[in-house]
């Protein structure tokens, strides 16, 4: 493939240079190699056409560069001739250095039957544990079906946060917006101190106990100084996020301004550091502004984070399909908290 400079140039080349892959070939699962880059780009185009939102996936050169790490690690399924028929990935979403998201799993339709999908996931998990020595792996499951949740349950993931209606409805499909279940696999815990907000202390204690995580629970304190935060906007999803790293006395004003500036969006997420002494104080101020429970994000910043969320209207609490009692119990906690906060 000749080097392309723009998304459109890459797509033009892929459209003009199609390549069919015969079904039924022997396939090996392996770590990404530079020669796989064109095959990965072709696979994205074969599965998604020109609709995938991230540009680099159509550009072999950028795929090669990204796989040098530390923010992307592909695992591929390739034929003896080197044709890529499947891919899985670990990639940077949580800001912590010791945690990556596992996802991007896809196969050509002709290769979706059988155990190939599990071979891809097995090597991805091995990469996280034995090669990258991650502390945790994060995954997201849609809740309009149970397939992804069943796969993650097989690998020991726990659903610890539920993002209500954070994903747009599928084009042409019946039903509304889709909630996402945030699931975690803890590989190597980092013991640390956390400050539990009164409203969610029983839930968080149960979560920590169920996961066997070593945490020391401390009493909170009044804030000092100024708030430090990082916003992220996802207009296609009608979603905005604010990650707070330092809780200051101006936190209510910061959050109020953020909420006002994004009031046209369907959902807002507030991520608060559970390691901050002012966390309990901040949670009460956030709930007063209409933010309710989302869940626990363990080791998100290499330390634990609490997710709160605000919705433009009452979510459909009957819509999420959830596999485990753990996730169903979390949904009920979120529903109850939403009613306490908003009504």
Overall number of domains in the chain:
2
C-alpha distances out from residue 181 to 177, 218, 283, 290, 294, Å: 13, 28, 21, 21, 10
Q: Is residue 232 part of a domain?
A: yes
| Structural domain span for residue 48 | 7-134
Q: Is residue 178 part of a domain?
A: no
**Are residues 123 and 207 located together in one domain of the fold?**
no
Q: Is residue 145 part of a domain?
A: no
**Are residues 107 and 36 located together in one domain of the fold?**
yes
**Are residues 203 and 122 located together in one domain of the fold?**
no
Q: Is residue 223 part of a domain?
A: yes
Which of 87, 109, 134 is at the close of a domain? 134
**Are residues 128 and 260 located together in one domain of the fold?**
no
Which of 115, 134, 153 is at the close of a domain? 134
C-alpha distances out from residue 194 to 101, 160, 209, 215, 299, Å: 23, 16, 14, 7, 12
CATH code at position 281: 3.40.630.30
Which of 89, 110, 134 is at the close of a domain? 134
Q: Length of the chain in residues, anyone?
A: 343
**Are residues 317 and 200 located together in one domain of the fold?**
yes
Residue-by-residue pLDDT tens, the chain, 343 positions = 667 889 999 999 999 999 999 999 999 999 999 999 999 999 999 999 998 888 999 999 999 999 999 999 999 999 999 999 999 999 999 999 999 999 999 999 999 999 999 999 999 999 999 999 999 999 999 999 999 999 999 999 999 999 999 999 887 777 799 999 999 999 999 999 999 999 999 999 999 999 999 999 999 999 999 999 999 999 989 999 999 999 999 999 999 999 999 999 999 999 999 999 999 999 999 999 999 999 999 999 999 999 999 999 999 999 999 999 999 999 999 999 999 999 7
**Are residues 224 and 330 located together in one domain of the fold?**
yes
Q: Is residue 155 part of a domain?
A: no
């Amino acid at each position: 493939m000749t080097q392309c400079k723009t998304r459109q140039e890459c797509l033009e080349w892929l459209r003009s240079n199609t390549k069919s892959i015969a079904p039924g070939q022997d396939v090996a699962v392996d770590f990404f190699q530079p020669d796989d880059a064109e095959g990965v780009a072709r696979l994205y185009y074969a599965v998604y056409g020109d609709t995938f939102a991230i540009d680099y996936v159509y550009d072999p050169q950028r795929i090669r560069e990204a796989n040098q790490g530390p923010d992307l690690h592909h695992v591929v399924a390739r034929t003896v001739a080197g044709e890529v028929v499947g891919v899985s990935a670990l990639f940077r979403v949580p800001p912590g250095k010791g945690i990556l998201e596992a996802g991007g799993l896809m196969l050509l339709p002709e290769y979706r039957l059988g155990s190939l999908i599990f071979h891809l996931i097995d090597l991805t998990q091995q990469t996280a544990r034995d090669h990258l020595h991650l502390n945790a792996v994060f995954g997201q499951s849609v809740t309009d079906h149970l397939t992804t949740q069943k796969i993650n349950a097989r690998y020991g993931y726990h659903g610890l946060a539920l993002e209500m209606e954070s994903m747009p409805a599928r084009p042409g499909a019946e039903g509304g917006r889709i909630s996402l279940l945030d699931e975690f696999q803890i590989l190597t815990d980092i013991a640390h101190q956390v400050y539990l907000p009164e409203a969610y202390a029983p839930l968080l204690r149960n979560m920590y106990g169920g996961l066997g995580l070593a945490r020391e629970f401390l009493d909170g304190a009044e804030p000092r100084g100024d708030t430090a935060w990082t916003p992220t906007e996802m207009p296609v999803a009608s979603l905005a996020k604010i990650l707070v790293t330092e809780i200051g006395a101006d936190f209510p004003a910061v959050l109020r301004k953020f909420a006002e500036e994004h009031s046209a969006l369907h959902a807002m997420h507030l991520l608060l550091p559970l390691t901050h002494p002012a966390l309990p104080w901040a949670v009460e101020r956030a709930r007063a502004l209409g933010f309710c429970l989302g869940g626990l994000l363990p080791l998100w910043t290499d330390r634990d984070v609490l997710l709160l969320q605000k919705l433009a209207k009452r979510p459909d609490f009957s819509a999420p399909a959830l596999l485990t009692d753990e996730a169903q119990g979390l949904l009920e906690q979120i529903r109850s908290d939403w009613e306490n906060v908003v009504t």
